[in-house]
Amino acid sequence: MDSKTYTEGLAELRGVRDEIKPRERQLAKLQAELDKLRAQRDEKVRALGAYQKAKSDRLATSAGLSVIDVVALVPSLGPQAPVSAPAESPVTGASAEDPPEAQKGVRPIKEAAGAPAPDLRPQSLEGDDRAAALTRPREAAADGAFDLDVLDEPAPATAAAPSPAPVAPAAVIPDGAQERTLPSIPEGVAGDRWIYAESNLASKRPNFKQATRQMAFLDTATGVLVWQGGTVTLDLGRASVAEILTAVYATVPADVERIYITAGDPWHQNAGRHQFLKDAVAEWLNGPLPEGWQVESSRGKDRQAGHLVHPRNPVGRWQRGKDQHSEIRSVGEWFDPAGADPATIRAAFVELWKALRRHWDDVVLMGSPSQTGRDLWSRTIPAKAGAKWADGYPVMSQEIRGLLHATAGQGRTELITPPRVPERVPGWYEADRTFAYAKHTWTSGVGVPQRVTAAAFAAMSEKEQADALFSPSHWQVRVTIPRDWDHVGLLPAPAPGERSWRYPYEGGRTFITWAGGAEVNLALRNPLQPWRIEILDGLVWEKGDPLKDWSNKLKDVWRSLRALGEVHGDEQQRQAARLASRAVRSILLYGIGTFAQRPRITTGSLELGAGGEVPEIPDGTRLTGLTDTHVTWERNIGFARDQYAHPEWAAVVWSAARAALLSGPTGTKDPETGKPARAGALHLPAGSILAFRTDAIYSSVRPDWPYSGEPGDYLLKGAMSWEQSTPTTDEEFYVLQALGRQALEAEEL
């Protein structure tokens, strides 16, 4: 660098400084106004909370706060406040006219007497009780309910039930972080009132067909556009929203409503100017529009309006006049395009539709795999008069849905770092479960759950206890880890962060958490050493198979597309079939996620005034970004009356998948026992596990597990058989993940 360049650089730096200062002033002004408004809100909440009939959930909705926040401001509205369902009618829910409300009745877990869970290993029961109690678990495990078929394995010498141990020191929590407190069901009658189904709300088979939307596929890096009418190359300029809408609709008819971006990620073009990707996305979505276009404001019942500001797969929605609508979406919602051109990606969607149509003659590919998955599932609901659940699957009370939302996590994500593992390891191996969630959909809980308190559990026989633990269930438990435990943690516990979980592993440690029946089973009868589990409370559902038909059809479609991807004579069609099979995985994976029905988050943006003034934002919102032209916000509007809200189904699948990540059968028989060969983290040496990522295990030892290509089998996806530095950050982890996959690909050439 010479003196001239340095001087010019200083001038540019001063220019950036001058641009930052007014925005900092705007932000400070906005923050001061927000603080003032929040103080006014809190004061109003306290005043209204003094009213004799005040309810924390109603105040929370009106204030845009959580119930916990309201109770912190008005302690008298805590657990002793009445719940929403009236005592005389436990099946009465909110009416259809009631506004969505925030999560209700949250009470922190407190120390309570628990009922010890039985030893589920075969030697713990005798005679008829033993045979009866173990029959059902064996049948369940054979079909993949919990994938824990270890009943006939000899118990290890160290497998004696551990006695209560002193509590080990708590894991270190970073400064400024606060441990999350999980909710519990209120004691006595107040908690019993949670156990009901919402009135006039059930999942029923639709009596209409979804409207078909025409699609186009656009590579914004090359300008190549493919649609039903052909292929063209467009001049997109900088690929702004205005340039895309103008160029595309100068070429394709107005009835093309979805534009899938296959490459180019135009919403990231100004990412370098923003600290967070969402801010860059929001700036792109809110850019200038062509004349006559505006952000979509409303649509029909099966349509959505407004933008979805997602950092990598955003959705923009616009309209021109009253009749023309357009969405710009990322094909990454469906699958990683892996460099495929727009024509191949369109062919993948065609192959996907053709394969699904063999099972659903009314199939329509909707905007996202989650929407498509839920719509396809709804068309498998029994419709024949007199069939069980022909009147629909009931939706649980808002209280139970809120409890499951707070206490049932998804996939396990954990990076294990020194000193738990060596700073250098002899290798790096990635084993990923194929189409894992499809393995755990054969049974789910249906109907209104039965509450099983500690006292009720203690009063059961061992046979009844085992039957409850092998049913679709969700348990509040006190867990004690054996003193000499030296492997990974088995059960999730809350960690700092809104949806964060950790997996305690320290020998002798005791903690309280919620866990699904599959994980409780795993902890009680894992192949190494049983953990001590005390039941504090629980929900047990009737066994049913609401997802089985849907899942079996999707698995059949997935297998047929994988086979087509191997044998088709045309390379483009082979690639299209492979991409379509990945889309089927997304349909099932994200379809299950839609059942969880999280509190609805609405997003929006407002244009800054001519002088940069920040406009008034809606009540109860949280600022998420500030650009040169717009301020963006989001607001939690609570749980809606959604007829397809079944978090109990998602929770069972997620729990079973996490358990199988530790120990589960493969699709191949063990030649010595004749039973399914087992795989999972607990079948690798202690200290060899480096990370978990949802369905994948990363270890320093090469897993020797058979692979038959069936759902749930482990596929080796990365391998480096030489010494590596153990990753200590996510960035280092992803570097090794990429290098491991490249090394295995080179090894297999």
Q: Report the distance separating Cα 555 and Cα 557, nearest Å.
A: 5
* 132, two tokens: 């009866």
Task: Report whether pLDDT(617) > 90.
Answer: no
110-114, 246-250, 498-502, 627-631: least confident range = 110-114
Higher-confidence residue of 630 and 520: namely: 520
Highest mean pLDDT among 180-184, 302-306, 567-571, 699-703: 699-703
Q: What angle do helix axes 3-49 and 56-63 make, rounded to 10 degrees?
A: 150
Find, among 81, 127, 89, the residue nearest to 107 by Cα. Answer: 81
Backbone angles phi, psi at 67, to 5 degrees: -60, -35
DSSP 8-state secondary structure symbol assigned to residue 124: G
Per-residue confidence band for 386, with pLDDT thresholds at 50, 70 and 90: confident
| Higher-scoring residue by pLDDT: 179, 29 | 29
Separation CA 453–CA 184 (nearest Å): 11
pLDDT score recorded for residue 106 = 40
Pick from 48-57, 148-157, 535-544: least confident: 148-157
Contact between residue 427 and residue 702 where contact means Cβ atoms under 8 Å apart: yes
Average pLDDT of span 33-39: 82
Least confident of 116-120, 471-475, 652-656: 116-120
Torsion of the alpha carbons at 338, 342, 347 and 353, rounded to the nearest 10: 90
pLDDT at 222: 96
pLDDT grade for 107, boundaries at 50, 70 and 90: very low
Residue 72: what pLDDT? 66
Per-residue confidence band for 109, with pLDDT thresholds at 50, 70 and 90? very low
The domain segmentation of the chain, as residue ranges, is 14-80, 140-202+397-404+441-544, 214-373+550-600, 424-437+645-748
Residue of 375, 358, 438 whose CA lies nearest to 713: 438
* 253-273 residue pLDDT tens: 999 999 999 999 999 988 888
- Give the 3-state secondary structure of 681-703: HHHCCCCCEEEEEECEEEECCCC
Instruction: Tell me which DSSP letter residue 223 carries.
Output: -
Average pLDDT, the chain: 83
Contacts of 703 (CB under 8 A, 6+ apart): 429, 431, 679, 684, 697, 714, 716
Calpha distance 549→206 (Å, rounded): 16
Task: Tell me the pLDDT band of 248, cut-offs 50, 70 and 90.
Answer: very high
Q: Would you say residue 377 has pLDDT above 90?
A: yes
Give the Cα separation of 401 and 194 in Å (integer): 10
Contacts of 729 by beta carbon, 8 Å cutoff, 6+ apart: 415
CA dihedral 333, 337, 343, 344 (to 10 degrees): -110
CB distance 532 to 162 below 8 Å: yes
Distance CA 534, CA 113 (A): 9
pLDDT tier at 640, thresholds 50, 70, 90: low
Minimal CA–CA distance to 708: which of 428, 442, 433? 433
pLDDT at 626: 65
Place of tokens 């559990």: 457
